[in-house]
Structure 1
Amino acid sequence: MIVVTRLNDSQFAINPDLIERIHANPDTTLVMVDGAKFIVTETLEDVIEKIARFRAHVISLAYLSPDTDYRPGIRSLEIVDGPHAIAEIIEPGSTVPSRPRRI
């Protein structure tokens, strides 16, 4: 989630994955995939920067070691390793069986 500011200076968090487009003339308007529109005080560039930082943060969580606490009570993302990893399940050189097609 990113935090943006309404014209009345109240802040709210919004899921950047649900933003369809951003207009910047004259005010910055976030148009959501469901058609909702939010006018915010941040510039177009500021909103894009917040989205980029949010996505970089999510990706960085995947690279934290499992014993690293990012925030108390919140589990970090983990890369699947060991017996659950697909590379461990399929033997090298073998083929993956396909399902029979229904005709």
Structure 2
Amino acid sequence: MIKLVGLNNKEFIVNADIIEKVEAIPESLITLTNGKKYLVKESNDEIVRKVIEYKRKIFRGNFD
């Protein structure tokens, strides 16, 4: 799960495993495998970094 900030400045959490694609429009538009879409303030690079960080924690067994 990764924390993101929507355009309404509210933080929410997304399951990184169901992200299908991320587009810059100029905000980042995240499309999930179930078809839901979210506009967020983070850049595409920030989202990728957060997903990589999350995956590393999972593979290392570090859930802190």
Which bracket does the TM-score occupy, shorter chain normalised?
Answer: over 0.9
Q: Which has the higher strand share?
A: 2
Partner of 2:5: 5
Using the aligned pairs only, state the percent identity: 25
Moved over 3 A (4+): none
- List per-residue Cα deviations over 1:16-64 (Å, max 9, x = no partner): 1100000012210000111100000000000000000000000111xx7
1:19 equivalenced with 2:19 (yes/no): yes
Partner of 1:86: none
1:42 equivalenced with 2:37 (yes/no): no
Q: TM-score, normalised by structure 2?
A: 0.93
> What is the CA–CA distance in structure 1 between the aligned matches of 2:27 and 2:13, rounded to whole Å?
18
Q: TM-score, normalised by structure 1?
A: 0.59
Q: Which has the higher contact order (CA 8 A, sep 6+)?
A: 2
> What is the CA–CA distance in structure 2 between the aligned matches of 1:25 and 1:44, rounded to whole Å?
10
Tell me which structure has the larger Cα radius of gyration.
Answer: 1
